[in-house]
Amino acid sequence: MRRTFCVTTAILFAAAALSCASVRPATRVRVIAPPPAAVPSVPTPESAQTYAMPPPLELPPGAIEERPETEGSPQAGGAPVQPTPEERIPAAPTSDLVALVLPLDEPAFERAASAVRDGFLDAAAAAGKSGNCVVIPHGQNGVVGAFALARAKGVRVAVGPLVRDDMKALALADADLPWTLALNQLDDGTKLPPAIYSFPLTVESDGRTLARRAQAVGAHSIDIVAGDSPLMKRLASSFANEWTRRGGTAPAALRFDPAPESLGALRRTLARDPPDAVLLAVTGEYAALVKPYIGNVVAYASGLVFERPSAAVARDLDGVRVVEIPWLLTPDAPRFAAFARRDFDSDSLARLYALGRDAYTIAASFVDGPPEHFDADGATGHITLGPGHEFQREGVLGVYRDGALVPIDSTP
């Protein structure tokens, strides 16, 4: 069975399906030492790529790592304790602790979770709040027990889950939760408990951003060239929904096929009735492959489905407009000058590190509960509190020039 991780991708590309079972509440053991530095490479759920382990984290002074005990619990095999309805909205926190609940003990997601953890704790250290953070790792089927531990500690806010299936397991467990900032989203209609807010790093956000940007520069017609993967379909769908919601004519859908005869047919189709722009809902390598066949039409894409293209591929992408997170597109921005930076072997992990940084900023705003309003420029983009308990982000637009992705408004 496969478990689903979407961060959005993202990042480590998202979306496969797997059931997640809950575990029983448990006791805890404090672990002061950092997690192991080396873990065998494992494939990510949708990209089928492997990524090197991020640099081992040395926990800042005062930061604590706590692990829920998953064996020997008196409720082993039983259902989670059911809170009464009035307990579903968290009471005032009994401490100033912020808990970071991540699948650090699950090999398939340990690298992603480590990157988020590093970003979160680096941001806490920069704010002088390392001592207010507690890391609660969990393995497969351990997310419910981990949140029970966070609740027992009376934390102000818990940050997690990171994995979509863990988020669903938490929702279905009907558990008594602290205020929670989930780092993912559900798209299957499962109702989230009122204590859960979400901050997902997903291609849907990029799709909406690209639709708005294309219309802002005067595009009236657009075609979508999309691959068959769930991730690419989600990008295409979010773009089309935002485009039409804002008054645009429904985009034409053109299926991407790398076969030469199919690319030739695509060129003829676009030449007969050229649109103002094209959305390339394909990976970077395929975007470079299809670009010569779209002629002089302006092309848009999401950076979340690109992974450090080679120099040759990057040159073939010249002119393609890409929405990306500021942490990667504008690393020298003044607001990042005082921030620690870590080297990662993939842009996917760097994006997750940025997600961790912004998650700390949002969590810090939960002073007496969730904020009524939120507006900040973060490492993943401009962040606002939108409807449906979702913290929404908007990335920044770049363009490939001479084989490099640069801000769209930079001098050629």
All structural domains of the chain: 1-198+328-393 (3.40.50.2300), 203-325+395-407 (3.40.50.2300)
Question: Quick one: what percent of the chain has pLDDT higher than 70?
Answer: 76
- Residue, of 62 and 187, whose pLDDT is higher: 187
pLDDT at 186: 87
pLDDT at 167: 93
CB burial class (10 A; 0-12, 13-18, 19+) of residue 36?
A: exposed
Global pTM reads: 0.81
Give the pLDDT confidence of 164-179 residue by residue, as tens digits.
999 999 999 988 899 9
- Among 29-38, 135-144, 306-315, 393-402, the least confident range: 29-38
pLDDT at 21: 28
**Rounded mean pLDDT of 17-33?**
27
- Residue, of 43 and 117, whose pLDDT is higher: 117
Question: Quick one: what percent of the chain has pLDDT higher than 90?
Answer: 69
Give the pLDDT confidence of 354-388 residue by residue, as tens digits.
999 999 999 999 988 899 999 999 999 999 999 98
**Rounded mean pLDDT of 45-70?**
42
pLDDT at 275: 97
Band (pLDDT 50/70/90 cuts) for residue 199 is: very high
- Among 26-35, 106-115, 178-187, 362-371, the least confident range: 26-35
Say yes or no to pLDDT of 286 above 70.
yes
* Whole-number average pLDDT of the chain: 81
pLDDT at 321: 97
Say yes or no to pLDDT of 34 above 50.
no
Contact assessment for residue 356 and residue 315, using Cβ atoms and an 8 Å cutoff: no
